[in-house]
Amino acid sequence: MTRLALNGGPEAAAGLDIPRWPQCTDTSKEYVLDALESEKWCRIIDGADWVDRFESEFADYHDAEHAIAVSNGTVAIELALRASGLQPGDEVLVPAYTFIATASAVACMGGVPKFVDVDPNTFNIDPESVRENVTDRTVGIVGVHFGGYPMDMDELLPIVEEHGLFLIEDSAHAQGSEWRGQRVGTFGDFGTFSFQQSKSLPAGEGGIVVTDDDVLAEEASLVHNIGRPVGAGYKHTMLASNYRLPELQGALLCSQLEKLPDENRRRQENEERLVSELDVIDGIHTLRRDDRITNRGYCVYNFRYDADAFDGLSRDRFLEALRAEGVPASPGYGLPLYKQPAFSREQLGTLVPPDTEIPVNRHLHLPGVEEIMETNVRLSHTALLAEGETINAIPRAIRKIQENVDQLLES
């Protein structure tokens, strides 16, 4: 009998070599020091150019015509909503399984987020549920390329077209992801990204919006700079806030972007290794394979766990055992968004015009989301950067738990 690590045995994944994150490289030090010593720490100071440079390099990387860097991924969505013409009380469809910012940005801009279901095979917005929920009050969709897995644009774009909606692609997780050879973020009106510390392109905090539309880009640029073009002095043509990214962050992001393509290649190779081993374990369900996904970015790596194939061992106890074996896995978000107290009628009611119809979110039940809540096993993108073949330690640890599950059921 092999003793499980939870019961004092040796860790099955002891060799799993996951790098620390984020990483301060020599180039990061060089670029940030340059920005620091330039004493131009804000993009609107004459001669400041790190944020300009990052915008141009990120736009190239994502094949977008325009990019406007902002302070984080949450305000990137707010900016995109404002520039897309969202009016107070407008209804916007959002997936109910995502980080809260996707939906709270809608509410904070005076819109009404309407939650739609998610496909457990992809963790992305379910186009069928979008069709069922669209009404004549719906003005747009904020969808998420969750974990870097692209949304099904073949299904989503015709719905957007048919109903005259705007589409914002929340690509906070998807730096480098591609659908049918086209980088994500450029299918809709705007793509928004986050560069928060845990993301695959990190700067502590930071964000960007991309678009191919010249008019929307101009609007977004005005909105991000308190209602005036960059370099326009004190003439403000619009009431707006300050969403600018600092120069030091711009410099840091230029350095981090240089290593992203190689890192994504390594993550993709490791994902292939992982999937080929996980797919043969009874009760482990990896995301649907889709040839239309031609490149992957990553933030989290998800699969689903079926307790029946582990003699009924609960997902949470399985996670405990997996972590004890040396695999840093988590259950993901603790609540579907419609159960978040922040989306109560009372709270939403404070942000929208009187008489706006507000759904009672706490009564919602979305089966796809609820299945994910019960079965999700989440790893960070950093696990996919594991050295050599040490990634194989993850399926090895899972097999060990499955073969010795009686030790957990007895205890």
Distance from the Cα of residue 305 to its chain's centroid? 21
Q: In angstroms, give the least distance from the CB of 348 to ligand PLP.
A: 19
Q: In angstroms, give the least distance from the CB of 241 to ligand PLP.
A: 15
**Shortest Cβ contact with ligand PLP: which residue?**
73
Task: Please identify, using beta-carbon distances, which residue of 106 and 327 lies nearer to ligand PLP.
Answer: 106
Active-site pick, 199, 224, 285, 304: 199
Q: In angstroms, give the least distance from the CB of 235 to ligand PLP.
A: 30
Task: Please identify, using beta-carbon distances, which residue of 82 and 400 lies nearer to ligand PLP.
Answer: 82
Active-site pick, 43, 173, 296, 317: 173
Cα distance between residue 146 and residue 271, in whole Å = 16
Residue 228 annotated as catalytic = yes
Residue 289 annotated as catalytic = no
The two tokens of residue 87 are 């009016």
Task: Please identify, using beta-carbon distances, which residue of 142 and 321 lies nearer to ligand PLP.
Answer: 142
- Whether 32 and 255 have beta carbons less than 8 Å apart is answered as yes
Residue 170 annotated as catalytic = yes
Q: In angstroms, give the least distance from the CB of 314 to ligand PLP.
A: 26
Q: In angstroms, give the least distance from the CB of 13 to ligand PLP.
A: 26
Task: Please identify, using beta-carbon distances, which residue of 251 and 299 lies nearer to ligand PLP.
Answer: 299
Q: Which residues of the shown chain bind ligand PLP in the complex (CB under 6 A)?
A: 72-74, 98-99, 101-102, 144, 170, 172-173, 194, 196, 207
Active-site pick, 97, 99, 149, 305: 99
Active-site pick, 40, 131, 228, 266: 228
Residue 244 annotated as catalytic = yes
CA distance from start to end of the chain: 15
Residue 173 annotated as catalytic = yes
Residue 119 annotated as catalytic = no
Active-site pick, 183, 244, 304, 315: 244
Task: Please identify, using beta-carbon distances, which residue of 142 and 165 lies nearer to ligand PLP.
Answer: 142
The two tokens of residue 379 are 């790893």
Q: Which residues are catalytic, by number?
A: 99, 170, 173, 196, 199, 228, 234, 244
